[in-house]
Structure 1
């Protein structure tokens, strides 16, 4: 089989590792350094991605485009690729609403591409058994084959574009909304002077919650800036299904208040997060 060239947009903390998995599956993986940050350059180099320089060069040399970017940028990335008349397989693996995914598909397919909807569940896939890439659409199985025998497991859903994004939204509604909730609970308890008493009660009746509240801060605070867009996409998902979307919008507000931790050298403490949420 001839080597397949994949254009990766972009090598963030997740995207770079997904690109490394595609390389492990036998593909050549390109990225475009133009306008990207020094951390992106360092990640791409560490994971063996080839720099095409500019987006136009990447698109011209790629049979597959893989978009892994912050949710708010998904449609803009698709428009930039479509403007270059990309006609291969376009895989959007972003945390977006099903309706947004279908819109991205329409953008790239009008330019001649074939769209595959994707949703990633789990951490950056350095080891097997941790992370799944759900895929839906006509060429989903073909896209999934790019990661065969790599740390990234792919699962093809029997559904049209939008199905993979819907599954991702459902999964993240639990993990990220509950993280936002438990951080806000600790902030409220601190404001009312009952944080230690609440922790003692949790230790008696729900002994996993103290550690879960600590883990929510550790895992979420520095990534909160990108969770805002995801929560807004999640709210659109629930509203589109005829369901209340207030929980998701409240979670977006929690993460918006924590966005300043984006470049923090270390995770903040629970007390620091509580003060930030109340300010």
Structure 2
């Protein structure tokens, strides 16, 4: 059995940092190439307990295993970086290289589909709760029924059923935000905002008590909106 001296991780995005933290927690020494990386990446590496090296050459010389944790589009280029680093060094023993690909096709599809479905549920939750506080929830329903009845049907089904699952969807929205950013080049704001919606539901004094199969509140889109409004009002009074 080959002794693992040090594990290299390329690169230290959110997913790579998560893997690095797990390895460090299990007493492995982890390193990465910090050359040309942003201050955010450097801080992420430091917070994960990762050793910062100055080049790919140093990485392949000091590590016995290298994990490639990059988007699929960067996988080949990253592998070539390691090959180039090896060709210019004096390493005598074997280097083990694992191409982990942060987002595969199947998980990428799952993320994009969830963005459409659960992302819409967050929009509907925010829209109906705001309309409720403005006193126009009934008018919003009528407008949707006339113009986009399918969307209304999805909201009526999706928003109430979301309530007992909201706590799980917070992290899922954060993962979607990371995927859209790292794979699609988009900002994170839309889905971190959706995560905020689900966090508000999950932490609501009333709605947080709801369990699948044992429902009392939030069994209709109107009652979800009303409960959220009540929660916001309680918070407002506490701050006065």
Q: TM-score, normalised by structure 2?
A: 0.54
Residue aligning to 1:260? 187
What secondary structure sits across from 1:8 in the alignment?
Answer: strand
Segments of 5+ residues of structure 1 without an aligned counterpart are 97-167, 229-255, 271-279
Q: Distance in 1 between matches of 2:99 and 2:111?
A: 21
Q: Distance in 2 between matches of 1:34 and 1:95?
A: 21
Change (3 A) 1:183 1:35: same
> Higher strand fraction: Structure 1 or Structure 2?
1
> Higher helix fraction: Structure 1 or Structure 2?
2
* Structure 2 residue corresponding to 1:94, chosen from 97, 101, 108: 101
Query: Moved runs in structure 1, 4+ residues, more than 6 A?
Result: 186-191, 209-212
Residue aligning to 1:10? 11
Q: Distance in 2 between matches of 1:68 and 1:223?
A: 13
Q: Distance in 2 between matches of 1:71 and 1:18?
A: 17
Residues 1-279 of structure 1 correspond to what in structure 2 (within 5 A)?
4-85=5-86, 87-95=94-102, 169-170=105-106, 172=107, 175-182=110-117, 192-194=147-149, 195-196=151-152, 198-202=154-158, 207-208=161-162, 217=173, 219-228=175-184, 259-261=186-188, 264=189, 267-269=192-194
The C-alpha deviation readout for 1:7-59, integer Å capped at 9, x for no partner, is 11112112122122223333321111111111111111112111111111111
- After superposing the two structures, state which structure 1 stretch, 85-94 or 192-201, moved more: 192-201
**Count of residues paired in the alignment:** 166
Change (3 A) 1:78 1:193: same
Q: Distance in 1 between matches of 2:191 and 2:80?
A: 35
Q: Distance in 2 between matches of 1:265 and 1:196?
A: 21
- Report the RMSD for the aligned CA atoms in angstroms: 3.9
The answer on whether the counterparts of 1:31 and 1:49 sit within 8 Å (CA) in structure 2 is yes
The C-alpha deviation readout for 1:182-206, integer Å capped at 9, x for no partner, is 16766999995555554224457xx
